[in-house]
């Protein structure tokens, strides 16, 4: 468990994405005082991991939504405002990946990947923006990938969506900095998760040899940076793409 401590007492955070990384971030936020609203299309796994723990359950609520649907996102944000009166933090971890060559990638698969990975970020950021502008403060952390920086074979659709998040993050940071809103992105390398399971098990040595620390990342390796960015310690950090990849690349 991450030991990095910050003061997020009374802060309200929306987190999208219900994988192992999302769960680790949610636990870190709650342990440092935040209330968390989780939005994802499948919530069973994260409810099982978090929802039964008495420490967490009073500070978390779940909304089953498709984050790539603008209207469902708007409804979730409206419910958040009705319940808490504000939204201080937004963390977008949602994403999908199906490896395939460009010859094998259908137009539907291309559209779906960009729709889920990139449209979701737009939907959430646009949705919270009015409230953060009114508050004159807010912290947004988007999740891109090393694939969005250096490319990745067999996933031009995924790499393109993640590169789009980089451009989106840097542009939005410039636009809303005058309102006291910080927008950053984290670009993980290979972090142990459902998404990376196949890559880790089938080509372990190939990828380990590219990582100077010679190990794959754990979700907890990312949590400390997220907490820093959304806390007062991150007040002068914006428009940055922060690599957490063990030196890979």
In a domain, 3, yes or no: no
158 included as an active-site residue = yes
In a domain, 226, yes or no: yes
Among residues 158, 179, 207, 236, the one annotated as catalytic is: 158
Number of folded domains that form the chain: 1
User: For residue 195, which phi and psi values (nearest 5 degrees)?
Assistant: -65, -35
CA–CA dist 125, 142 (Å, integer) = 9
Q: What is the pLDDT of residues 4-16, one digit of tens each?
A: 789 999 999 999 9
In a domain, 1, yes or no: no
Q: What is the pLDDT of residue 209?
A: 81
Instruction: Provide the b/e sequence for 162-182 (b: ≥16 CB within 10 Å).
Output: bbbbbebbbebbeebeeeebb
Q: What is the pLDDT of residue 197?
A: 58
In a domain, 40, yes or no: yes
Q: What is the pLDDT of residue 3?
A: 61
Question: Which helix (H) or strand (E) is 186 found in, with range?
Answer: strand 181-188
> Reduced to 3 states, what is the DSSP secondary structure of residue 88?
coil
Give the gyration radius of the chain's Cα atoms: 17
In a domain, 249, yes or no: no
In a domain, 6, yes or no: no
Q: Is 32 left (phi over 0), alpha (psi -120 to 50) or beta?
A: alpha
Pair of tokens at residue 67:
């984050």
Q: What is the pLDDT of residue 212?
A: 86
Q: What is the pLDDT of residues 44-82, one digit of tens each?
A: 878 877 766 667 878 999 999 999 999 999 999 999 999
Domain enclosing residue 120, as ranges: 12-244
> ∠12-14-16 over CA atoms, to 5°?
165
Q: What is the pLDDT of residue 199?
A: 59
Q: What is the pLDDT of residue 190?
A: 84
- Point out the residues of the chain with pLDDT beneath 70: 1-3, 51-54, 193-205
CA distances from 221 to 190, 192, 216, 239, 244 (A): 11, 10, 10, 21, 8
Q: What is the pLDDT of residue 203?
A: 60
In a domain, 7, yes or no: no
In a domain, 2, yes or no: no
Read off the CATH number of the domain in which 168 is found. 3.40.50.720
């Amino acid at each position: 468990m991450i030991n990095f401590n910050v003061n997020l007492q009374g802060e309200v955070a929306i987190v999208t994405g219900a994988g192992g990384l999302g769960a680790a971030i949610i636990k870190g936020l709650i342990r440092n005082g935040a209330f968390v609203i989780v939005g994802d299309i499948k919530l069973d796994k994260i409810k099982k991991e978090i929802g039964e723990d008495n420490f967490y359950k009073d500070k978390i609520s779940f909304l089953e939504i498709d984050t790539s649907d603008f209207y469902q996102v708007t409804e979730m944000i409206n419910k958040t405002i009705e319940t808490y009166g504000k939204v201080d933090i937004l963390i977008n971890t949602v994403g999908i990946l199906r490896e395939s060559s460009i010859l094998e990638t259908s137009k539907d698969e291309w559209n779906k990947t960009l729709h889920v990975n990139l449209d979701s970020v737009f939907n959430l950021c646009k949705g919270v923006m009015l409230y953060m502008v009114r508050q004159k403060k807010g912290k947004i952390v988007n999740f891109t990938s090393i694939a969005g920086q250096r490319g990745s074979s067999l996933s031009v659709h995924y790499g393109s969506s993640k590169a789009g998040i980089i451009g989106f993050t840097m542009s939005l940071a410039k636009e809303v900095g005058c309102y006291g809103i910080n927008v950053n992105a984290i670009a993980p390398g290979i972090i142990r998760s459902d998404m990376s399971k196949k890559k880790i098990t089938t080509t372990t040595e190939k990828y380990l040899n590219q990582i100077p620390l010679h190990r794959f990342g754990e979700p907890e390796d990312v949590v400390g940076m997220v907490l820093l960015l959304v806390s007062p310690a991150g007040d002068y950090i914006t428009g940055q793409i922060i690599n957490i990849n063990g030196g890979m690349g």
